Structure 1
Amino acid sequence: MAAEKQLNNEDLELTNSGDRSPEAVSSSDIYIDPVAEKKLLFKLDLVLTPLIGLLYLVSFLDRSNIGNAKIQGMPEDLGLVGSQFNVATSIFYITYCLFETPMALLLKIIRPSRMIPCAVIAWSLCTIFTCFVHNYAGLVAVRLIMGACEAGLFPSLNLYLTMVYKREEQSKRLSYLFTAAAVSGAFGGLIAYGISHMDGVGGYAGWRWLYIIEGAFSILVAVLVYFTLPDDPKLAWFLNEDERALVRARQEITARYRGSEEFDWAETRKAARDPKVWLSAVIQFCADISLYGFSTFLPAIIRAMGYSSVHAQLLTVPVYLFGSFTFIVVAIIADRTKKRFGILLVMSIIMIIGYILFLTVTKAGVLYFATFLIAAGVYIGPGLNLGWLNINVAGHYKRATAVGIQQSLGNLGGVVAGQIYYQSPRYWVGYGTSVGAMGVAVVGYVFMYIHLKRLNAERDRVEQTPGADASNFAGKTGDEELEFRYQF
């Protein structure tokens, strides 16, 4: 069999890189055949990656299509004036942020295969109902309800990945989610272009058909997920008995990192008191200002360069595809090197250069080039920062709370993003705010690096100094153990 009672060098390397725990090693002493493990990962990716990617794709598609609807005449049809469109864009994130942490904690209780599809169907109906909105109040109402329904998806998918993959395997898989977000932008641009030719069909404006078609597609995805997403990888319907045993062996090796399966309020309190959780949340807030501003208003930004609405929809496609390709490559590098700080720093600086071009140049070709610079890092910032938190917080419910806090505060960036893009045709406030936000994020990355390095140095000192006082680590579990090492 692929999993036997023997500990090999790979397992020792794993325990020395952060999952170290005498309990985790001695209680299992498991040998894992690397060839069999590689085949298992391929099989898991083959089934889970399309499902998870589709889920986040339709999620991002349904929340950001308001940007495509804007340049197809929604504000005019609904009689929106002043900042009403921006408020409708931002208000989605109010309920989204409020419900994220509770939904993340409920994932195991309700079961992924039930909770996730139900949430998708709920927000898909909101998407479809947007077609029948005729005023500002109706638009605000559906956006608020949609935000509440979508709130649990991303933290749930993120936690699901931590249940399936080891720490050093997660950045690549997490990249699939943000790649799906980028692809949804490209997909949304193509759909919006096609639907622009349906204007007037059945008596509905083209932007109304956009909501009907995309909402219906999301419901189909929910049905697919209901019948195919396994609640636990070791019980997955597409694995044979040997492969399920191998999954169990992998889970035993990383048992301490995953933490107790039983809910414990103490774990949630640990997350709430952890400085790195709040630092990560501040970074996420800054990164999300750029992410949500860019992904929602890119069609309008390109149209402001002098292109027609139809051409602007099409010109978003290569930008989003470039962003998704860049993220996949960078995420693979991050997993292989187990380094995130340097990557985040470099990509943030590239984004800042892109925004500075927006602020200082007027030539359309240069401005369009700047969108590629921003796209190169706009998904990497939030994605790798979340992955950085994932691998440095141990225990399922502590991690669930940490991710909930980070995402709740981070997604408030969506509220800000909806308010700063209003000075058409040159969105000075939007670009300037994004430069400032990314500058703060860069400072945050530096502080996070210093903090994690200091924590590791303290653990090294205690372990390597005979007679050193280890009382601060007595009785600690998860990432607070003496044996745990943070990755940066």
Structure 2
Amino acid sequence: MSELKEYPRRDSGRSSNSATNDKIKGLERDQLEAGISPLVADLPPDPDAHLSAGERATIDRRLLWKLDLALIPWLCVLYLLSFLDRTNIGNAKIVGLQQSLGSTGHPLSAGAYNAALSIFFVSYSLFEPLTNVLLKRLTPKLFIPIIMVLWGLIMTLMGFSYNWSGLMAARWFLGLAEAGLFPGVNYYLSCWYRRSEFGIRAAIFFSAAAVSGSFGGLLAAAIEKMVGLGGRPGWAWIFILEGILTVLFGLASFWAVQNFPDKATFLSEVDRARVIRRLKMDQQSSAEHEEFKMQYVTSALKDYKMWLGMMIYMGCDMPLYAFSLFLPTIISQMGYTATKAQLLTVPPYACAAVLTITVGYIADRTRQRGLCNIFVSLIGIAGFAILLGSEKPHIKYAGTFLGALGIYPCISNTISWVSNNIEGVYKRGVVLGFVIGWGNLNGIVSSNIYRTGPKFTAGHSTVMIYMIVCLLGGSIAMRTLLVRENKKRLTGQRDHWTRGMSHREAEKLGDKRPDFIYTL
């Protein structure tokens, strides 16, 4: 790959189109179409310049393997605990939560229970846009363990709720404490990997949510047998034990979570240079230090990709929470006992985890994240159509498989898609915070649409509308606009944006640089 030390200036008398056509000829054009810019300034010295292409490829594979082992497994465990702690209220509901926390002789009403679900998403969503700025300033090694310990303690205390007010307070603070993990980790991982490598890692990370659905059902089925121990009901022990587990992992995270690449202690100085170099060759500067300025927030708010990303993400995130919070209820309404209902939640999540990782791999290899969203969303729409149209329990259960398969892969794929197309340390963090925060705010909707069973007509219809209009429609719109913009950049119609600029000045434009080619 060629390395130009200065950004080509446009004042040489040549036409913009002519300069662009020269720039994208041959190998350079192939690189641009793959989303890799040959116009990279201030690269760290290449420690492997003296090696052959085969030797360099071997070193690169070893470096990726080292990063994967140090980052991915632990972060997956943390997100598994996070998702388990926010959705285990659905498991607690079918083993007596409403009966215990209601007034004398009267269980909690459906409205009161749904309010307890909804209040989590209010605090969770309001604070998510702020959390990536805090993550960058405090460093991941401090920020992630601190919020984990906090939400683990809150989860434990939720098991000692004696009335609806106590449950509401605990759910509010749980949302506040958990707000930083999902957007933070996705942003954090995007600062380590190339754009064509990020999708599979984000998918593996998010598949922990599907695994938590499986694990949560199995764990709840076992823990609920502790009813009466210490004078607490079985549902309370679900909260207490899972909360203590989170605190322990949070404390361990002070040693297990790594900082950003430029400060990572598990890498040698040479390996840190390799990581930063490979990111800059991929048009990314997010691994390096950058001072926060309000212009990054303004730039994010003016970017149509953020607003379309918010639309797409709400189209899969609201169905996700509806599915996670109410699948045990849906299954129990089909006539299964509490324990069997817990266990029957496991297979749909397991299948969803496999497809999530598969789609992440395919999207990385093809760089067609929009098409992946479109095709996968159709599976989910078909699943909820079955749930809506059938009266037979076993057919409805089959519909839950298709529903899970059509929701879970789109979550991580959408995050990867948005992240791939936003460049700049703080801008990317702000955009991801808004996209994920807005999507989670729609969890309020999912908390209030499954009221009347066992058919759940209003709930399934609302989920279908979200998936058709927001997920499917938004993905089609985003891909169409990105295809159009890439054509303009490849034919030189955006070159005037950097006319007369040095390479350093042009690099600060982030994804507004004419040579930044969007991932479709």
TM-score by length of 2: 0.88
RMSD of aligned residue pairs (Cα, Å): 2.4
2:477 maps to 1:447: yes
Contact 2:110 2:451 in 1 (8 A): no
Q: How does 1:82-481 map to 2 (within 5 A)?
A: 82-254=110-282, 256-258=284-286, 261-440=290-469, 441-462=471-492, 470-471=496-497, 477-481=509-513
Q: 2:140 and 2:428 mapped to 1: Cα distance? A: 17
Q: 1:443 and 1:135 mapped to 2: Cα distance? A: 43
Q: Taking every aligned residue pair, what percent have the same amino acid on both sides?
A: 38
**SS of 1:227's equivalent?**
helix
Contact 2:35 2:282 in 1 (8 A): no
**Aligned residue among 36, 39, 45 for 2:59:** 36
2:74 maps to 1:51: yes
Contact 2:44 2:273 in 1 (8 A): no
- What does residue 18 of structure 1 align with? 35
Amino acid at match of 1:209: W
**SS of 1:22's equivalent?**
coil
Contact 1:24 1:254 in 2 (8 A): no
Contact 1:24 1:253 in 2 (8 A): no
**SS of 1:262's equivalent?**
coil
Contact 1:172 1:328 in 2 (8 A): yes
Q: 1:86 and 1:240 mapped to 2: Cα distance? A: 51
Contact 1:19 1:256 in 2 (8 A): no
Contact 1:25 1:253 in 2 (8 A): no
Structure 1 residues 154 and 261: alpha-carbon distance in aligned structure 2, compared to 1, 3 A threshold: same
**SS of 1:83's equivalent?**
helix
Question: How many residues of Structure 1 are paired with residues of Structure 2 in the alignment?
Answer: 481
1:243 Cα deviation after fit = 3.0
2:104 maps to 1:75: no
Q: 1:212 and 1:469 mapped to 2: Cα distance? A: 59
Residue deviations 1:217-237, cap 9 Å, x none? 111111221112111235434
Contact 1:24 1:255 in 2 (8 A): no
- What does residue 83 of structure 2 align with? 60
Residue deviations 1:65-114, cap 9 Å, x none? 00000001101110111411111101101011111111111112111011
Contact 1:260 1:395 in 2 (8 A): no
Q: 2:144 and 2:375 mapped to 1: Cα distance? A: 35
Contact 1:198 1:205 in 2 (8 A): yes
1:425 Cα deviation after fit = 2.0
**SS of 1:207's equivalent?**
helix
Q: 1:11 and 1:121 mapped to 2: Cα distance? A: 48
Larger Rg computed on CA atoms: 2
Residue deviations 1:439-469, cap 9 Å, x none? 1121111110111111112112226xxxx87
Q: 2:277 and 2:491 mapped to 1: Cα distance? A: 32
Structure 1 residues 278 and 194: alpha-carbon distance in aligned structure 2, compared to 1, 3 A threshold: same
Q: 2:89 and 2:192 mapped to 1: Cα distance? A: 34
1:19 Cα deviation after fit = 4.0
**SS of 2:191's equivalent?**
helix
Q: Please, which runs of 5 or more residues in structure 2 have no aligned partner?
A: 6-25, 103-107
Moved more, 397-406 or 250-259: 250-259
Q: 1:331 and 1:324 mapped to 2: Cα distance? A: 11
Residue deviations 1:273-315, cap 9 Å, x none? 0011101101111211100100111111111111111001001
Q: 2:4 and 2:41 mapped to 1: Cα distance? A: 13
Q: 2:58 and 2:32 mapped to 1: Cα distance? A: 20
Moved more, 46-55 or 205-214: 46-55
Q: 2:312 and 2:172 mapped to 1: Cα distance? A: 25
Contact 2:381 2:406 in 1 (8 A): no
Q: 1:23 and 1:41 mapped to 2: Cα distance? A: 21
Q: 2:223 and 2:341 mapped to 1: Cα distance? A: 14
Contact 1:11 1:253 in 2 (8 A): no
**SS of 1:193's equivalent?**
helix
TM-score by length of 1: 0.93
Q: Please, which runs of 5 or more residues in structure 1 have no aligned partner?
A: none
Residue deviations 1:233-280, cap 9 Å, x none? 354343345433422432443464427622122121111100111011
Residue deviations 1:135-181, cap 9 Å, x none? 11111111111111111111110111011111110000101222000
1:424 Cα deviation after fit = 2.1
1:319 Cα deviation after fit = 1.3
Greater percentage in helix: 1
2:519 maps to 1:487: yes
Residue deviations 1:408-439, cap 9 Å, x none? 11111211100111112221111110011001
Amino acid at match of 1:449: R
